A and B are shown apart, each in its own frame.
Chain A
Amino acid sequence: MLLPGMVWLVMFSIVPMFGILMAFQDFNPGAGLLKSEWVGLENFKYMFQLNDSKTVIVNTFIIAIGKIVLNLLIPLIFAILLNELRSMRYKKLVQTVVYLPHFLSWVIMSTIVIGIFGYYGVVNTVFGMFGFDPKLFMADAGIFRQLIIGTDVWKEFGFNAIIYLAALTGINLNLYEAAAIDGANRWQLIRHVTLPALSTTVVLLGVLSLGNVLNAGFDQVYNLYNPLVYSTGDILDTWVYRLGLQNLQFSLATAAGLFKSVISFVLIFISYRLAYRYADYTVF
C-alpha cells in the first residue's frame, strides 16, 4: 500500500529537485540539465550585485512579517469580540459575511481593491467630503506595502478567526461561571479566562507561520503592483517570475528561487524548534 505514495513522492517531489542544478549552470534548454555549462556560484554573485535583490529581499520580509503579525492579532481580537455576542443568529451572520472574501481569488479581489482605492474610489470620495485632494493610492510607493498587508488581512481575518473560535468553544464554561461569581466583569473574564486559554493556539499559529515568512503573496502583489511601486512592492516571488518567465533568465531565476528556499528552510527549522518548546507541538 505504501508503493503508490512512494512513487508519487519520488516522481513529483524528489526528481524535480534536480532542477536546482540550474542555479549553478548557464542553463541551455537545448543541452538540458546534464550538458549545460557549469558556472558555479556565478548566478548568485550576479544576483547579489543587482540593486534589485536587496530591495526585493527587504520588501519580502517587511510585507511577510507585517502579514504574519496582523493575521495573528486581528482574527484573535475579532474572535474574542464575536464570542462576546449574545445573539447566535447575528454571530453566524457576521461570521459568514467576513469570511466570504477568503474564497475569492486575488484576480477578482484586486479589481475590488482598485475600486476602493482608485482615483475615483470609495476612499477618495470620502476623503473628498472632508476637502482632501484625491490621491492615487495604487501608484504610491509610500503606502503600497501597507495596502498589501491591509488588504490581505481584510481578505483573510474572517477565515483565520475560525481556529480561534474553535478554541474558544473548548474553554470550560465553569471557569467563566466561577470567575463571575468571584466578581469578575466582562473585561476581566476576557483577560483572565479567555486569553490564557487561547495563548497556546496563538503561539502555535505564530510559530508555524514563521515557515511562511518569505511567502509574501505572489498572487496579490502581482495583481496589484505596477512599475511605480516596484521600490516597495516588488517581492522575491514576483521578481523570480519576471526574471525567469518574462526575461527567460532561467538560471538566475532558479538561483533566486533557491536562495528563497534555503532561507525558508532555516526558518521552518527554527519555527519547529520553537513550536516544540513553547507549544509542545511536533510533526515528527
Chain B
Amino acid sequence: MKKNMALMLSVVLLALSLTACSSSNNSSNNLKASSNPDSNSASPALSGDDLAFSKFPNPVDVHIGMVVDPTDKTLPEGDSVSNNQYTRYLKEKYNINVIVDWTAATGNDFKQKVSLTIASGKLPDGMVVDDRSFMTKAASSGLLYDITDIFQQYQSSQVKDIMASTEGRALENASYKGKMVSLPNITVDTDGVHVLWIRKDWLDKLQLPVPKTVSDVEKTAKAFVDSKLGGDKMIGIAGPSKNTFPYSTFLVSSNNMGGFDPIFGAMDAYPGYWLDNGDGSVTYGTTTDNTKKTLALLADWYKKGLIDPEVGTRDNVGDPINANQAGIFFGPWWNGGYGNGDSFKNDPTANWQAYPVYSDDNKWNVHMKTTGSTYTVISKNAKPDVVKAIMIMNNALVRDEATFDLSVNVAWYPLRNVMAAANETEYEYAELLKVLKGETNPEDYNKPNSLYKLMYADAKKVKDVIKPPYDDLNVSNFSTANFGDFQRLYSIMIGDRPFTTIPIDKKVFSVTYNQTSTMETKWANLKKMEDETVMKIILGQASIDSFDKFVKDWKSQGGDEITAEVAELLKK
C-alpha cells in the first residue's frame, strides 16, 4: 500500500513538474518572440558581438562543477552557489540556467575532485581546471568538446582582442593536437616576472640604500636580521613554504610567492625551465652550473641565518610576512597588496616596495610565464547549445566584470576564467598615473568592450585611494578605507612599477610549458628527486656536491629521454 502511494505521488509530481517546465518554456518563448529578433527565423542570422551576447529563446541548462572558497563570506543570506546575483544575471540576460553538480574547496580538495571526475570519465558540461595536465589528460582521453568552430563564431570582439594580445600563445595553450578543446585563461605577462618585495620603511630606518644586486640583497638581509626590527623572530628573507616552490617551473610558471626566482634570474639561472641552447639542443635549467652556483649561494645564506629558518616547512609563506617579521620576500606584482594584506593591517607604516634584482654586471634577467594556467573544459557530451552558452558566459564576464557589484566576490561567477590582456597591468599603470596627474579624466576610459575591461572602474576610484604626491608612491599615499580597492591599486602602482618602467635585459621563455609523453609517466619521479635535492642543499642537509649526483641520476632515470623529446618540439 505504502509503495503504491509513493508511486502515485511521484507520478503526480512528475506530471506537475513537466507541465511547469513546458509552461515556463512557452511563456519564455513568447517573451522571446516579442523582445528579441533572433528567434525570428525571418531575420538575418546574427554574427559578431550580437551572436556573442545573444539570448537563448529557450532556457539552456548548464551543468558545472565549481571551486568555492570556504572562507568567502560575501554571498548574501539566502543566496547559494547556484542562486546568486551572477546566476540570476545569466538567467535574466541570456536565459542560461546554471546547475551546480558539485562544489569543492579551493586547493587540494578541488584538484582531487577534478582528478576523480576525469578518472571517472563523467565530466559536467563545464568546469574550470587549474592545471594544464588535467586539460590534456581529459583531452587525450577523448572527453572534451572540440570548440574550434563554435569559439570562432561566438567569441566577442573583446575576447578576440584579448586572445590576439598573446600573439597566438593563448590559442595554442588551449588546444590539444591542433583542436581547441578549452577556453584558456589569459593572465597578464607580469604574473610570471617575480620581483623583490622589501620593507622600505625599515631600509630608511637603517639608512640603507635599496639593494640592487645579489650581493646587495645579502648585505641588506644581514642588516635586517641584525636590526631585529621585526622582533625576536626577525627574518631577513622569507622563503618558500611547503605549498610553494623554490622557483617557478615550466608547468607552474607564474605566481610563485616566496620562491627565490629573482635570485636565480640574477645568477642567470632558470631552474625548472627548458632552455633553448640555440643550436637545436635543449637543457633543463635545473641541471645547469648556474643553478648549482645559486643553490650554493642560497645554502650559504641559509647557514648565515639570512633566510627564514623554517623555510620549506611552513604552511604558508605569508604568515611571517603578515606578522611583520620579514624584511624581504620575492613574488609577482600582486603579492604586495594581496599576499601581504594583513601586514598593512597590522602595521600601517609597512611600506612594501618592489624592485628588480640585478646580476653583478647590472642585467635584469627574468623568466617569462605561459599565457595562462586555468582552462574551462567542456564535456564532449555537452549539447551544442550548452557549449554556446558557456562561450556567452565567458564573453559576459569579460565585458561586464567591472559593472558587477563586486561586494559579492566575483569568484562566485559560474565558470569564472580570468581573461585579461597580456599587457593590462602596464597599460593600467601608465593610464592611472595620467588620471592621478590630471592629464586624463576617468570618463575618457568609458569605452564599452574595451580590451582593458577594468580600466574605467579603476580610473573612477583611483583618486579616492591614492593621495598626492604622485611622483614617488609609498604606503602613506594610499587609503585603506576600501581594502579591496587598496589591494588592487597598490599591486598595480607599486608591484607592477618595475615591470612597466624598467627595461628587462633578458626574457627567458621555456621551450615548452607542457608535458611530453614520457613525462606523463616519469616526471613525477624526477620532480620528486629535484625537490628533495634542491631543498636539502638549501637547508644544508646535503652538500653542494650532491647536486652532481642528482644531475647524473636525473639524466639516467628518464631525463635524457625527455630532453630529447623537448628538443624535438624545438624543430617544429
Contact = CB atoms under 8 A, between A and B. Distances in A.
A168 interface: no
A243 B520 CA distance: 10
Interface stretch (A112-120, A148-156, A205-213): A112-120
7 contacts: A139-B541, A227-B535, A228-B532, A228-B541, A245-B111, A248-B133, A248-B520
A31 B313 contact: no
B483 to A, nearest CB: 26
Contacts of B115: 244-246, 248
Interface stretch (A46-54, A170-178, A194-202): A46-54
A13 interface: no
A159 B524 CA distance: 38
B309 A29 contact: no
Contacts of B143: 29-30
A136 B310 contact: yes
Given A230-B528, A245-B115, A30 B309 contact: no
Contact of B141 (A30, A111, A139, A245): A30
A28 interface: yes
Contacts of A248: 115, 118-119, 133-134, 137, 520
Residue in A32, A230, A247 with the greatest tally of chain B CB atoms within 10 Å: A247
A249 interface: yes
B535 A245 contact: no
A242 B108 CA distance: 11
Main secondary structure of the interface of A (DSSP, over half): helix
Nearest to B533: A227
B528 A52 contact: yes
Contacts of A29: 118-121, 137-138, 141, 143
Contact of A138 (B313, B524, B531): B313
B293 interface: no
A52 B121 contact: no
A245 B112 contact: yes
Interface string B505-549: 000000000000000110111001001100110010100000000
Interface in B308-324: 309-310, 312-313, 315
Given A28-B142, A119-B310, A252-B521, 17 more contacts: A27-B119, A29-B118, A29-B143, A30-B121, A52-B525, A52-B528, A111-B315, A120-B233, A136-B310, A139-B312, A139-B539, A141-B541, A227-B312, A227-B528, A230-B531, A245-B112, A246-B111
Contact of B532 (A140, A227, A244, A247): A227
A228 to B, nearest CB: 5
Interface in A8-64: 27-32, 46, 50-52
Contacts of A242: 524
Size bin of chain A's contact surface: 35 or more
Contacts of B112: 245
Nearest to B122: A29
Nearest to B139: A30
Contacts of B150: none
Contacts of A252: 521
B523 A247 contact: yes
B406 interface: no
B141 A31 contact: yes
A228 B521 contact: no
B242 interface: yes
A31 B143 CA distance: 9
B312 A226 contact: yes
A250 interface: yes
B525 A50 contact: yes
B116 interface: yes
Interface in A112-170: 114, 118-120, 134, 136, 138-141
A261 interface: no
Interface in A246-266: 246-250, 252
Contacts of B141: 28-31
Contacts of A246: 111, 115, 524
Contacts of A27: 119
Given A228-B536, A242-B524, A114 B313 contact: yes
A140 B309 CA distance: 13
Interface in B204-258: 233, 242
Given A51-B525, A138-B313, A243-B524, A250 B119 contact: yes
Residue in A226, A227, A243, A250 with the greatest tally of chain B CB atoms within 10 Å: A227
A50 B337 CA distance: 44
A160 to B, nearest CB: 29
B255 to A, nearest CB: 18
Interface in A182-230: 226-228, 230
Nearest to A33: B121
Q: For the complex of A and B, list the 5 residue pairs with the smallest distance between their C-beta atoms, beginning with the closest.
A: A30-B142, A30-B141, A29-B121, A227-B531, A138-B313
